[in-house]
Amino acid sequence: MVYDVIIIGGGPAGVTAAIYAKRSGLDILLIEKGIIGGKIVNATSLENYPGFVSISGIEFADKLKEQLERLNINILYDNVIHLNLQEKEKEIKTKNKTFKTKTVILASGTENRKLGIKGEDEFIGRGVSFCATCDAPFFKNKTVAVVGGGNSAVEEALYLSGIASNVYLIHRRDILRAERVRREKLKERNVKVLLNMEVEEINGDKFVKSITLRNNKDNRISEINVDGVFISIGYVPSTIIARDAGVNVDKDGYIIVDRYQRTNIDGVFAAGDVTGGIMQVSTAVGEGTVAGISAYNFIKKPYWT
């Protein structure tokens, strides 16, 4: 079988693209390596998406999955390991199977950016985490540090403040990048904010015991005892496989697209965080809409195009 569209990634962009492609009458397959919803499942509360005053990331992801199921959209939970995009019929190879398709929509999102310091990799799962929603219960009544200064980092700190006994928020600049509303909540939750500080090393034996900090104003070194470190310093695009297949990316690794979400390869589109820009659910949904419609137009070539 040759699909009309294969969508790689089941976050808001990929799901939206699937909805539009399916409703247009195309034969589609959505491939997701984890769970439907992508990173949104880690959000404690989504408050800036129209139609929801407040909804948890898990609830939002459940609604995405429910809509896919109602439309009888084929979902495959697997890892894509190779792409052949140069021919008219594209080839998608997963760990378990190979598929053919007329078009591809890349919505593979991003991965957590690492600090690149000693102890980070060694203590993953033993005190180092990239997801408070996932791992916070392990740190009940303990002391933790969150590294980062954006909305995601502040959200992690706020969530942990209701579980851990002490929460530090460590940022290397002199001001947090997070929205003012979120910054105000930090004061209410008694989160200790340490600015102009960089984590130099994560220390421990079997588990994390402390972190070494450097004040980037005067280079003074200090150490604080913590049981856990939650790293939230942004993301890097999941584009290695796409780049190897010839898809053009910018200097930061994000896929380059035009206003129709087209890449440099005919029949290959991209949407969501994997294209960079303003990484919000609303923008991912918008790009997914355009990508789904563009795939339909590419295949069917209706008169209005």
152 pLDDT above the threshold of 90: no
Q: Whose structure tokens read 């492609």?
A: 21
Provide the residue count of the chain. Answer: 305
User: Residue 153 and residue 232: Cα distance in Å, rounded?
Assistant: 5
303 pLDDT above the threshold of 80: no
User: 190-219: per-residue pLDDT in tens?
Assistant: 899 999 999 999 999 999 999 999 999 999
Among the listed residues 134, 174, 258, 266, the single catalytic one is: 134
18 pLDDT above the threshold of 90: yes
pLDDT at 144: 97
Signed CA dihedral, 245, 248, 254, 259: sign only? negative
Q: Which two tokens stand for residue 219?
A: 């280079």
% of the chain residues with pLDDT over 70: 100
User: 244-293: per-residue pLDDT in tens?
Assistant: 999 999 999 999 999 999 999 999 999 999 999 888 899 999 999 999 99
User: Residue 77 and residue 178: Cα distance in Å, rounded?
Assistant: 34
User: 47-88: per-residue pLDDT in tens?
Assistant: 888 998 888 888 999 999 999 999 999 999 999 999 999 999
Asked if 158 and 185 touch (Cβ cutoff 8 Å), the reply is: yes
Asked if 153 and 169 touch (Cβ cutoff 8 Å), the reply is: yes
220 pLDDT above the threshold of 90: yes
181 pLDDT above the threshold of 90: no
Query: Is 250 designated active site?
Result: no
The H-or-E segment that residue 128 falls in is strand 128-129
227 pLDDT above the threshold of 90: yes
142 pLDDT above the threshold of 80: yes
20 pLDDT above the threshold of 90: yes
Buried b (16+ CB within 10 A) or exposed e, 237-267: bbbebbeebebebeeebbbebeeebbbebeb
The amino acid at 148: G
Query: Is 131 designated active site?
Result: yes
| pLDDT tier for residue 301 given thresholds of 50, 70 and 90 | confident
| pLDDT tier for residue 183 given thresholds of 50, 70 and 90 | confident
% of the chain residues with pLDDT over 90: 78
The amino acid at 171: H
Query: Is 134 designated active site?
Result: yes
The H-or-E segment that residue 182 falls in is helix 180-188
pLDDT at 174: 92
**pTM for this entry:** 0.82
pLDDT at 42: 76
pLDDT at 78: 95
Give phi and psi for 145, each to the nearest 5.
Answer: -125, 140
pLDDT at 16: 98
Higher-pLDDT residue of 123, 187: 123
Domains of the chain (ranges; CATH) run 2-112+235-300 (3.50.50.60), 128-231 (3.50.50.60)
User: 88-105: per-residue pLDDT in tens?
Assistant: 999 999 998 999 999 999
Average of per-residue pLDDT across 175-180: 88
